[in-house]
A and B are shown apart, each in its own frame.
Chain A
Amino acid sequence: MTPVRVVGVGNPEAGDDAVGLLAVRSARAELEALGAEVVETGAGLHVVDLLAGADAVVVVDAVRAPAGGRPPGTIVRAEAGPEGLPTEVGSSLSSHGFGVAEAVGLAAALEDAPRVVFLGVEVADVTAGHGLSRAVAGALPELVARIVTEARLLSAT
């Protein structure tokens, strides 16, 4: 059993959708020093499998608020409950519409979920071929620090 796993989700070629991947990549050395396992994945669907075999999982992904109005670069944190992730977190930018929220919800419904902490970043631009937007790039250092903090807290409990 892995004590803590940190999963970065995203598409490296789709603007702000890369933020989850880039953040866990930046945090990798510190996370591994804490004994956490670091995984990068291209599809939220695979998170279903990545929740298994760990005591706690930190999932990092790009999100879009369901009703809009959240400034790009805003970091949102949520813990999964019996119903999965709270809906106000928003829709992660999943391939084929089965994303992180669905994966976590499914594990929760099967009573098979570890403790899940979700860190999302509100996106501005997910155009293929674009880099990170200014707002999301600006949020990256704080996101990296928060990933490490979450992993440290989960490792200690």
Chain B
Amino acid sequence: MTHRQVEVPVIARVEGEGALHITAKDGEILDLRLEIYEPPRYFEAFLQGRHFSEVPDIVPRICGICPVAYQMSAIHGLEELFGVEVSEGTRELRRLLYCGEWIESHILHIFLLAAPDFLGMASAIEMAKHHPDLVKKVLDIKRVGNDIMEVVGGREIHPVSPRVGGFSRAARRRELDPLLPRLEWALEQMPGIADFVASLPAPVLPREAELVSMVHPTEYPINEGSMASTAGRRWTFAEYESVTQEVHVEHSNALHSLMSDTQTPYHTGPLSRMNLNVDRLTPVARDCMARAGLSVPEGDPFFSMAARVAESALAMEEAIRIIRDYVPPEPSMAEVVPRAGRAMWATEAPRGTLYHRYDVAEDGTILAAKIVPPTSQNLRHMEEDLRRFLPGVLDRPDEELTRLCEMVVRNYDPCISCATHFLSLDIQRV
């Protein structure tokens, strides 16, 4: 029996202290494990004993790309527990801040991570050499998202102004107004970008999957709503941990999320949101969805990129609407009186639903925290995609096989670094 082992030290554009182990024989996958060693358990422990008012400064440190998502799941949950009513201005400003994060994260993923994969290029750097004008334009669009986050959240490593109760400092009209022409310009680019995405040679991987996302009666869900799935399930945030469960996987420290009753995996993220909220799309987003070639229902995970294009347009349209109508919340902070109980909330991070739970004492001390990031909820589906995708390409050289594995994993825009740092690939052909 011949036995060959290939080690790839770093999956170049998804770094996590994890590994992908594959054992294959005669073109068949015998074993496949995508391991993530460290979910944000440190932060859950770190939050214990802290005052609730510290939470918005601690949780955004979990991730450099989606700090707003972590802040918003925590803030909304604690406000609901404490019975805090925030003003409409605060609500809109939060949605604007989150739109900035969606724009930045989605544009980064579409062009700097996924497009090079689909074009068979080694990296965004190679793409920049072939398409410099496109990449320059993309960086300008991404910067608009970044600047929204800075103006609304503050010019620090992580947004500092969002608080339980509102904003420590609410953005002024004259700070937001200069973003308008740039957002309008960015939105004008989106139909062309959707055409570009439609022209990319993306892989095809049809599948039946239970897609999960928040839903909201009047808007495309970001900060508020309840849960739904394409299998017809409906649940509230308070039911999140009974409807779904995290299970330990043998030989790994990774947790996989499953539906509790059927023990089957589910998929959260932009494609799921589009499937469950297509009626809530804004006009340009709807146009971009069609141009990018996506129609729902669609379960093929490789349509996630088209979904990101449409959601980028949606985030721009929403940001434009919010800035045009913006009246600064006065006062910017509502009164907050803590009360004992359990806070449970989810929001839609760019890469999927992010659930938080906090057990809080009467004086506002955090007794326990639980964080379920979108990446751990999608892990089982990443593995299943690899299992279905790999048999057709197992005969490829190791270098190409590595690239293809990376592409399948990266398509989920995993937030592996939320928890970990390096991911290695270990292929054994038995």
Contacts and interface: CB of A to CB of B under 8 A. Distances in A.
10 contacts: A41-B157, A46-B146, A91-B422, A94-B417, A97-B13, A102-B13, A102-B125, A109-B129, A110-B128, A126-B17
A96 B421 contact: no
Given A94-B15, A110-B128, A45 B61 contact: no
A8 B108 CA distance: 21
A91 B16 CA distance: 12
A110 B45 CA distance: 44
Contact of A95 (B43, B64, B123, B143): B64
Contact of A110 (B13, B136, B158): B136
B15 A13 contact: no
Contact of B113 (A21, A48, A97): A97
Contacts of B128: 106, 109-110
B40 interface: yes
A40 interface: yes
B10 interface: yes
Given A40-B157, A48-B139, A106-B135, A95 B65 contact: yes
A127 B11 CA distance: 19
Interface residues of B, number: 46
A53 B211 CA distance: 43
Contact of A105 (B40, B125, B136, B413): B125
B289 interface: no
Nearest to B417: A95
Contacts of B422: 64, 91
Given A102-B125, A129-B46, A45 B15 contact: no
A54 interface: no
Most buried by B among A12, A99, A105, A111: A105
A96 B417 contact: yes
A98 B135 CA distance: 15
Contacts of B108: 45, 96, 98
A84 B13 contact: no
B67 A42 contact: yes
A81 interface: no
Given A49-B146, A98-B108, A43 B135 contact: no
A45 B410 CA distance: 16
Contact of A42 (B64, B136, B416, B419): B64
A112 B61 contact: no
A109 B128 CA distance: 6
B371 to A, nearest CB: 12
Contact of B9 (A40, A42, A45, A66): A66
B201 interface: no
A102 B65 contact: no
Contacts of A108: 125
Interface string A113-155: 0000000000000111100000000000000000000000000
A13 B124 CA distance: 28
Contacts of A11: 61, 64
A20 to B, nearest CB: 11
A126 B65 CA distance: 18
A36 interface: no
Most buried by B among A91, A126, A128: A128
A96 B415 contact: yes
A6 B124 CA distance: 24
B125 A106 contact: yes
